[in-house]
A and B are shown apart, each in its own frame.
Chain A
């Protein structure tokens, strides 16, 4: 697994629950390294070990932890560059939803060797969408749930999101888009990247 993913898990646990929590996760998972390095690769098994250890240490249901991780990816200040990259996907949350099908190509533009989920967005009746996602590891559904909820807030859209089961390797979500201009949302200036 790309170090980016492991690093995200470490960053999430450390910034949300503290360095001690991460130290416990590390020792429970018998992690051979002190810190994950974003630009290196690690065995997939290590990622799973760490995640399971995190669930144990933090006493969280896997889905809850994954959803929080998804939210953290979009909302934490340290990951502002990622939020900005996501906002390039379109001027409104609706555009953003449709652009999810491009997320693989978009991710590979940034990091050619990063395993990205493949996502299909199916418009339902009215303002509903069904999202089907596949990834190398299980859990992309709840991660997306957290991230998409946070992105709806970021765009200032009002949306209702739920998990909608797993079909084979596909994890599904339902999105009810109620209002694309519910609030001001967070600012996104095209040319104002932080250095």
Chain B
């Protein structure tokens, strides 16, 4: 191996211009604490014009590892990692390191933006040319911006996926033809409501009468039109919090929240029947159907019922309504000759009880005997 042996004590001469090129953020301070020379970028950042001749401690403030105000104390920090700020920008922590110069020429400190780089370039209005090509601050800035862009793209993707997921979930919970909840959604909601002991609700099991005839006579398209119409009817009689679902070919469930009152539930049933009996025009025909309804409510049980029990009871009541002739509703648990059935009439609904179902014109058979509960 040839060439010069490494000798750390050898002294070399560097011009001021050379220092500016190698360390655009350096400052050279003499033993009196005055600035001999400052790099062009540091000069720009300090915002005090030409720095040569100015007291160093009027331009910068050394904070770490200790607060220092004299050159002698400064020299004892040779080689250490320094934390400092410029007087003009006390909120932007900078980083530095220094070394003493031979023959009492003072100290040279090199400074960098450290982690303040993003704020620093903005605040000091720095450009690409203000950094040495060896200073990777520019790469940090680049990376910072690139990260922000990719982050935005990732967030965009997440949002779209979330929207798609929500749409898929709605789809999985919805009966496509009627727009009502499907069996799965209905069961889930019923289970949730049953598990919550503070929730009491009524359940109407609706079965269409004469629907098969419509299908057989006018075809499936007519049947579909009828089902769509029923969907609209059920949506119109339910409130925002209630839930109506299609749970079979021509079977529907209505969950009426915070209501176990027989009169109230009967009024809803009567209205459903009345609306469904309105003839539905399809092409040149008029489709006429009706509905039978079985009703139960959580409040009528001594012990909180399970989902199956509730559904079976509503179904049993529905069966009784069917047996009594189409277009009727029956409450669960009202057996024998006392079966409270409803048939739509034009009597006004009992005030107060129906107040929450506005627009309900008529509901029940004569007061008393058939709605007692």
Contact = CB atoms under 8 A, between A and B. Distances in A.
B153 A109 contact: no
Given A88-B128, A190-B141, A191-B118, A37 B160 contact: yes
Contacts of B149: 81-82, 85, 110
Interface string A68-108: 00000000000001101100101100000000000000100
A190 B126 contact: yes
B171 to A, nearest CB: 16
- Interface centre among B142, B143, B154, by most A CB within 10 Å? B142
B41 to A, nearest CB: 12
B121 interface: yes
A193 interface: yes
A191 B154 contact: no
A80 B149 CA distance: 10
A39 B145 contact: no
Given A88-B138, A88-B141, A88-B142, A110 B150 contact: yes
Interface residues of A, number: 21
Interface residues of B, number: 28
A189 B123 CA distance: 11
A109 B143 contact: yes
B145 A38 contact: no
A59 interface: no
A109 B144 CA distance: 10
Contact of A111 (B141, B150, B156): B150
B241 interface: no
B142 A85 contact: yes
Chain B interface, DSSP helix/strand/loop, else mixed: helix
Given A88-B128, A190-B128, A192-B122, A37 B142 contact: no
Contacts, number: 65
Nearest to A107: B146
B2 interface: no
Nearest to B123: A191
A40 interface: yes
A109 B142 contact: yes
Contacts of B148: 81, 193, 195
Contacts of A85: 142, 145-146, 149
Nearest to B118: A191
A109 B141 CA distance: 12
A102 to B, nearest CB: 10
A60 B275 CA distance: 61
Nearest to B160: A37
A109 B139 contact: yes
Interface in A109-139: 109-111
Contacts of B125: 189, 191
Contacts of A111: 146, 150
B128 A37 contact: no
B129 A84 contact: no
Interface of B: 118-123, 125-129, 138-139, 141-150, 153-154, 156-157, 160
19 contacts: A38-B156, A39-B150, A84-B145, A85-B142, A85-B145, A85-B146, A91-B128, A106-B142, A109-B139, A111-B146, A111-B150, A189-B125, A190-B121, A191-B118, A191-B120, A191-B123, A191-B125, A193-B148, A195-B148
